[in-house]
Amino acid sequence: MEKQALKKKDQVIKVLIAEDNAVSAKILQKNINDWGYEVVLAKDGKEAWSSLQNEGIKLAILDWMMPEINGIQLCKKIRQNDHLGKDQEYTYIILLTAKDEQKDLIKGFSAGADDYIRKPFNQLELKARLKTGKRIIDLQKQLQEQASRDSLTEIWNRKRMFRILDKEINRANRDNLPVAIIMIDIDKFKSINDSHGHQVGDLVLKEVTHVLKKSVRNYDEICRYGGDELLIILPNCNVAKTESIAERLRQNMNKHRIDSDTVSLNVTLSFGGASTESYSSDITSEALIMAADKALLEAKNKGRNRVVLKKKIED
């Protein structure tokens, strides 16, 4: 069972082997494939660099001496890229080194390598070192996931929301498609908290999130923007489509009753939406949020439990 679970595609770790020596590359490839990893081969540093940028590589085995860009230079390049942040995940680097290069290992570690293997390698040692790499990658992934989620509702937090939105706006521009956001406020949330206590308030937040999650398309992203404000990112949505989705969410929430041990209540939501369709392509995440926020304020001023869309910049 466990083995089967490990074989799931998203769990298979992609390993880059950057090695100009054909014999060594072939042996590495066979072993690493046999241990259940997916292998990408590169025969020099330049090829390795291009794979690293496009192929979702988690673990890189880099030969120290390679034509074009050597292992050390490549290490530095990878780490520089890690610092640029964005959605880049950590790349675990193992340097391949000949026995007599061992004295230079410090150089490798300060360039950013995590580990090293001596050539010719021992099979069991390589296997163990890869396992360590996998453990670090898994931990790093968990950590990143935790740092991106809101602890109460487990939806994306504000920090992550901005990253997703920036990425979606870029993608929308590239594909010439709109992207929309809906800001949602829980009506009279403060008085729910005041009269029923924070535990009920927390439950309301969780239930609202649950209803929204069930009602959106599976590629829409729900985030917690602030206290009782939620934000949904909707790829490929113009104003009309956004309005109809928001209206569906509003109705679904109206039909839902929240029950706790002490109370049973109906909660309504106010919605403010905006789509890049209404703006020029250089609109920023912040400006789009501001537009949706304005619409949300209007929805609340008009009596709550309603949807308002920003249709033009002047709206």
Min dist. Cβ of residue 119 to other proteins (A): 6
Q: Of 2, 10, 100, 261, which one interacts with other proteins (CB under 8 A)?
A: 100
Q: Of 14, 76, 119, 196, which one interacts with other proteins (CB under 8 A)?
A: 119
CA distance 29 to 9: 19
Query: Is-catalytic flag, 202?
Result: no
**Cβ-Cβ contacts under 8 Å for 12 (sequence gap 6 or more):** 6, 36, 37, 38
Closer residue to other proteins in complex, CB, 27/177: 27
Please answer whether residues 270 and 155 qualify as being in contact, where contact means their C-beta atoms are separated by less than 8 angstroms.
no
Q: In Å, what is the CA distance from 94 to each residue of 35, 40, 111, 282, 313?
A: 17, 15, 12, 41, 52
Three-state DSSP string of 61-81: EEECCCCCCCHHHHHHHHHHH
Min dist. Cβ of residue 26 to other proteins (A): 6
127 near other proteins (CB under 8 A): no
Q: Of 36, 56, 120, 227, which one interacts with other proteins (CB under 8 A)?
A: 120
The token duo for 102 is 């061992």
Give the distance from CA 251 to its chain's centroid: 30
125 near other proteins (CB under 8 A): no
The catalytic position among 228, 282, 293, 315 is 228
36 near other proteins (CB under 8 A): no
Q: Which of 273, 266, 267, 268 is nearest to 298 (CA)?
A: 273
Instruction: Tell whether omega for the bond before 120 is within 30 degrees of 0, i.e. cis.
Output: yes
Mapped onto helix, strand or coil, the DSSP state of residue 87 is coil
64 to 83: interface string for other proteins, x by CB under 8 A: -x------------------
Q: Are strands 115-119 and 92-98 parallel, antiparallel or unpaired?
A: parallel
30 near other proteins (CB under 8 A): yes
121 near other proteins (CB under 8 A): yes
24 near other proteins (CB under 8 A): yes
Q: Of 14, 27, 140, 287, which one interacts with other proteins (CB under 8 A)?
A: 27
Give the distance from CA 268 to its chain's centroid: 30
131 near other proteins (CB under 8 A): no
Q: How many residues bind other proteins (CB under 8 A)?
A: 18
Stretch that binds other proteins, among 27-35, 141-149, 184-192, 289-297 (CB under 8 A): 27-35
Q: Which residues are catalytic?
A: 228
Q: Which residues bind other proteins (CB under 8 A)?
A: 20-24, 26-27, 30-31, 34, 65, 98, 100, 119-123
